Amino acid sequence: MSKVGRILDRLEKHYGKRKPIPPAGAYEMLIFANCGYPANDVTCMKGFEALNKRVGIRPDHILAASDQELTAILRLGGIVPELRAVRLKEIAARVKDKYAGDLGAALRRPLPEARKVLKQFPTIGDPGAEKILLFTRVAPVAAVPSNCVHVPLRLGLGRAYKSYSKDYKSAQEALAAELPEDCDARLRAYLLLQHHGQELCKRSRPKCDACPVTADCRYFQATR
């Protein structure tokens, strides 16, 4: 068994199988990502659920809502709601006008083109684009959780360069080399590494004493 496979099995035994939280579509994921700030599953879900209940999430729904209404709703998801309201309208307008309301069809292109389409939207860089491509099963990219890049690096999956873009690329290459080129396998890795980073392997003050994978952790071995 590969190192990645061993680590993932231990994480899954510790946390149980992880499932993606809704939403599942590319457009909906873009909206979700801008419904909370600081952006995380909790803040984004609060804003997204309120938006869906009070206004709706389809492009026409968002474009018909006033800036003040969107701002009031998005305040439930955290700070800078005015800016996020503007971003939601930008996303909705682009999907409606440029992609005729069907962003999914625009992603059924060669991978570099699909990635470029997504990066035209607010707050979406390579990590966000690759997450969407993986979670929507458009392409089996070895996406790395954007706020948990330190997790695979601590586990010796890639090399830390003190540059986010280099760190991300290094971790991604290490995962891609050991994981099957399959959406299920790479989605499982993403979800387990992300959850581990949120629960125990925090960027500061990681809870190493409770960690199930210290035997493979360079960080633990260097600091103990």
Whichever domain contains 153, its CATH number is 1.10.1670.10
Q: What is the mean pLDDT of residues 200-214?
A: 95
What does each C-alpha distance from 125 to 168, 209, 217 come to in angstroms? 12, 34, 28
Q: Provide the CA 81 distance to its chain's centre, in angstroms.
A: 20
pLDDT of residue 216: 93
Provide the CATH number for the domain around residue 44: 1.10.340.30
User: 107 and 145: one domain?
Assistant: no
- Whether pLDDT at 77 is above 90: yes
pLDDT of residue 148: 95
User: What DSSP string runs through 12-35?
Assistant: HHHH----PPSP-SHHHHHHHHTS
Q: Supply the range of the domain harboring residue 56.
A: 26-135
pLDDT of residue 1: 79
pLDDT in tens, 174-194: 999 999 999 999 999 999 999
pLDDT of residue 24: 87
Single-letter amino acid, residue 28: E
- Whether pLDDT at 22 is above 90: no
- Point out the domain boundary residue: 68, 102, 135: 135
- Whether pLDDT at 26 is above 90: yes
User: 118 and 146: one domain?
Assistant: no
pLDDT of residue 224: 81
The rounded mean pLDDT for the chain is 96
- Point out the domain boundary residue: 88, 117, 135: 135
User: 41 and 91: one domain?
Assistant: yes
User: 8 and 30: one domain?
Assistant: no
User: 169 and 107: one domain?
Assistant: no
pLDDT in tens, 100-121: 999 999 999 999 999 999 999 9
Report the largest interatomic distance among the alpha carbons of the chain, rounded to a whole angstrom: 57
Number of domains in the chain: 2
pLDDT in tens, 142-161: 999 999 999 999 999 999 99
- Point out the domain boundary residue: 113, 135, 157: 135
User: 128 and 182: one domain?
Assistant: no
